[in-house]
Amino acid sequence: MRAALVAFHLVAITLSGLPSPEGGLNRATWAEPTVQVEFAAWAKRFGMEQRAFEDALWEFANTYNRGYKQLLTPVKPYEDLIGSEQSWKMFIAPHRFPTKLEIAGRGAGGEWGVLFLESSPTATWRADLLRLERLRSSIFRWGWPNYSSAWSKGCGGIAALAFADFPELDEVRCRFWKARTPSPEQARSGDLPVGQWTSPRLVRRGKPGVPLVVERPTPTGAAPSTAPVGAAAADVEPTP
């Protein structure tokens, strides 16, 4: 009995651990520049036109995924029972256009002050919290278009903390700085790629007890630059 159960366990986790395209089957995500760079490289390797390569891959991935799900059907109840998932998609591809989270706040009619900016040594409000690995995991996802509504909720949650910490704030803005990661050559020469702010969210202080409303303002259209303008540059160190 024990030998049979152990054998079944090994078969179940092996099937469960087989590569799966699940999570990547979203054509909106495929349009992201990071993904496009991958497709371009692979299409070149296969000697195919990129669009044709993407279509063929889409077809293959969907067919494979359907078959894979059928293969998993017998072991899925066991996996659910013991909570033994085997999704080992770890750094499967580098993100060449990563995002950097910025949280800023201002009083009525005032200037924006940067509270937090990823990697900034000065804008470090609640850094111990926002740099938690579990938060990083969420922040990483929020930079992708398919997590847009989760991003709004996330900004709302962070804004609530900011309003509690800074009674003088009337508005909190969350947004991402998105830029291509410099190549080693660019990093050496200091010729950094330009980037821009994306996915802004705005939260206004509401009445106590009333849920915060997260707005999606139109991006300001500020000129692209090589560093997050007005953020890392500003020597902001708010004191709660």
Partner 1 sequence: MSLWRRWVAFLDRREAATSLALARIVLGATIASHLAYMAWVGGDLLVWADAAYGGLRTLEPGWLAHVGGLTPENVRGLLLVTTFAAVAFTLGVSTRVAAFVTWVGFRTLADLNSHAGGAYDELAKNILLLLLVSGCGRALSFDAWWAARKARAGGAPFDPLVPAWPRYVLIFQLVLMYWATGMQKVSSGWVPGGSADALWYILQQPTWQRREMTWLAPLFPLTQLATLGTWFFEQGAPLLLLAFWFRHTRTRPGRLRAVFNRLDVRSLYLLVGLGMHAGIEATMDVGAFSWATMAIYVACFHPDEWTRLGKRLGFSGGAPRAGWTPRAVTPPAPASGRLPSAP
Q: Examine residue 92 and tell whether it contacts partner 1 (CB under 8 A).
A: yes
Q: Examine residue 62 and tell whether it contacts partner 1 (CB under 8 A).
A: no
Q: Examine residue 201 and tell whether it contacts partner 1 (CB under 8 A).
A: no
Q: Examine residue 154 and tell whether it contacts partner 1 (CB under 8 A).
A: yes
Choose which of 47, 70, 90, 167 interacts with partner 1 (CB under 8 A): 90
Q: Examine residue 193 and tell whether it contacts partner 1 (CB under 8 A).
A: no
Alpha-carbon distance 216 to 199, whole Å? 8
Q: How many CA atoms lie within 13 A of 121 on its CB side?
A: 0
Alpha-carbon distance 85 to 132, whole Å? 23
| Element of type H or E holding 60 | helix 50-72
Query: Tokens in use for 124?
Result: 């470090």
Comparing CA positions, the residue from 70, 187, 195 lying closest to residue 143 is: 195
Task: Report in angstroms how near the CB of residue 156 gets to partner 1 at its nearest.
Answer: 7
Query: Interface residues for partner 1 in 11-40 (CB under 8 A)?
Result: 13-14, 17-19, 38
Stretch that binds partner 1, among 68-76, 179-187, 194-202, 216-224 (CB under 8 A): 179-187
Query: Tokens in use for 120?
Result: 């900034």
- Rg from Cα positions in the chain: 22
When the beta carbons of 56 and 132 are compared against partner 1, the nearer one is 132
Length in residues, the chain: 240
Q: Examine residue 10 and tell whether it contacts partner 1 (CB under 8 A).
A: yes
Burial of 226 (0-12, 13-18, 19+ CB in 10 A): middle
Residue ranges that bind partner 1, judged by CB under 8 A: 2-3, 6-7, 9-10, 13-14, 17-19, 38, 41-42, 45, 82-96, 98-100, 118-119, 128-129, 131-141, 147, 150, 153-154, 156-158, 160-161, 181-185, 187-188, 211
